[in-house]
Structure 1
Amino acid sequence: MTNQPRVLVVDDEQNIRLTLNALLSRAGYAVTTAATGEEAVALFEREPFDLMLVDLQMPGMKGMEVVAKVREAGHDAIIIVLTGHGSLDSAIEGIRFGIFDYLLKTSDPNHILARVAAGLEERAARRRQSDLLDTIGAAVQELTGGRVATNPTFTPPHSSATPAPATSAEPAGRILTIGPLTLD
């Protein structure tokens, strides 16, 4: 098993796929390519990827449709749009789907590599944060004898402190409030 970050390159233009494959492979990434949006979605169903570089304008399933399907399926891969047809509308749509970056195909290869590296660092930071929150949640469960549910408000029996209400605007399971202590 490899520790190399797994990158999926999705583009209908073979020369772009080959160029990005060579560039990213030389940089130490495990690269898989897909020529269509449908192929990319099928690959995501079979194996996890850390990052996806996706073109917007492809025959059949367009790049934003691929992004939408990947997100709907719950995949947490970092997504970078790499397009020759950039527009403000598509950039805004990409932001709504949580893309990490929006680059033109004419971008300098070193800039593409830098953005891929930054995206993978962001993903690693998110995973570390999630792991830490899981660890903290497990520790709180252990310390309180399991009396704390997801997104709890809990005041120890010998405390006179008024419990702080859990914040309903935050995603479930993300905020943990115990007395005056709130963990996000």
Structure 2
Amino acid sequence: MEVSKMPKDDRDILEVLQFELDFVNSGGYGRSVRTPQKPTAVFRESPSCLNFGDPNNTHPCRDCLLMEFVPPSARAKGLPCHQIPMGPRGETIDKLLDRDDQTALEQALRNWLETRVSRIEESRAQVVKLPQALSPAQRETEYRPRVLVVDDDESVLTLLNQLLEEAGYETTTAWGGREAVQILRQSAFDLVLLDDYLPDLTSEEVLRQLRRLTDSTLAIVMQSGALPDELAVRYARLGVRFFTDKHEPERIVELVRDSLSRCSLLAANC
């Protein structure tokens, strides 16, 4: 099968996932009678890989957009994209490869890609209208909770900034953890939306610095492609209790409102 490379610069996660889905559907990874020797190195041998066609593998895996779906405990492994949970049972690509069932591997990968593509497309097409959103006049006279949004994806920052502003919040955005910490040293916020995967600082390190800079009543919502149960275990020790999927913006806005309300009512325990 003849395929074209994917540009290495200015990538968008939706474009990468859609490219992968098209690649799978066109038989990009499948062994066949005519090509029995064909390897099944999912993601690594796809034209979407940053190192595709590069024998020196000059691009580290941390630069790959798929890293946001890799559990933190697996991000240091040699091929972290093979540790992405593919379904409700949490089977990774490595586990599926161990089963030596090409049909099951391709179906699991296809299902995962279709689900992710659908979620992101729906989230970007949503026009959120919350019943409790403030009118322009109210925004000028009523207190507007301050929210800091931290992510390394400009499209996510732009979308959440717009939705939160429309919902009545005063919003500031930060690209990455270092910028977030710098902003927090200068200003106070009611709530921080922090992406689970950041390229410059780990989310755990950002949280530790946030706790040094702010009191314990600051509400922190983690946004991630990982499962909520996994996040709860990882961040419980840092006092994080509110979680949401980063590709569900309507849910994020609702959770911001709910978590701020809970922190107001239960400040001693928040």
TM-score surpassing 0.5? yes
The aligned residue for residue 92 of structure 1 is 233
The aligned residue for residue 56 of structure 2 is none
The aligned residue for residue 114 of structure 1 is 254
Residues 100-179 of structure 1 correspond to what in structure 2 (within 5 A)?
100-107=241-248, 109-127=249-267
Aligned CA-pair RMSD:
2.2
1:106, 1:120 → 2: CA distance?
21
Q: Deviations over 1:2-57 (max 9, x none)?
A: 61000000000000000100110100000000001011111111111000100011
SS in 2 for 1:10: strand
TM-score, normalising length: structure 1? 0.63
Tell me which amino acid in the other structure corresponds to 1:93. R
Tell me which amino acid in the other structure corresponds to 2:156. I
Structure with greater helix percent: 2
Q: Does 1:81 align with 2:225?
A: no
> Out of 72, 81, 88, which is 2:212 matched to?
72
Tell me which amino acid in the other structure corresponds to 1:29. Y
The aligned residue for residue 61 of structure 1 is 201
> Out of 156, 159, 168, which is 1:28 matched to?
168
Tell me which amino acid in the other structure corresponds to 1:92. V
Partners of 1:41 and 1:69 within 8 A in 2? yes
SS in 2 for 1:103: strand
The aligned residue for residue 157 of structure 1 is none
Q: Does 1:50 align with 2:190?
A: yes
- Tell me the number of residue pairs that the alignment of Structure 1 and Structure 2 aligns: 128
Unaligned runs of 5+ in 1: 131-184
Unaligned runs of 5+ in 2: 1-140
User: Compared with structure 1, are the counterparts of its residues 87 and 111 closer, same or farther at alpha carbon in structure 2 (3 Å cutoff)?
Assistant: closer
